[in-house]
Amino acid sequence: MTDAEGAYGVVPLEALKTANQLQWIQSAQAAPPAGYYYPELIDHPVTVCNPRGVFSDHIG
């Protein structure tokens, strides 16, 4: 995880602490469950994306 620029799913706190190159996290859910956004993740400069709308009619 130290050299990763992106991640998919949940990034545990211990992994986040060593993620020096992390720029974005792709959430597996449009609405991540309670606890997904923990304080250290919120304070981190990483961008968190979600798949909301990926199955909408206007995307083709």
**Could you tell me which residues are beta bridge partners of residue 7?**
25
43 membership: H or E segment, kind and range: helix 39-43
pLDDT block averages, 10 residues each, the chain of length 60: 93 95 94 93 95 68
Asked whether the beta carbons of 23 and 29 are under 8 A apart, the reply is no
Q: Is the pTM of this model over 0.75?
A: yes
Asked whether the beta carbons of 31 and 53 are under 8 A apart, the reply is no
For residue 5, the model assigns a pLDDT of 97
Residue 15 identity: A
Domain ranges for the chain: 6-49
For residue 25, give Cα distances in angstroms to 21, 22, 32, 42, 57: 12, 8, 12, 12, 25
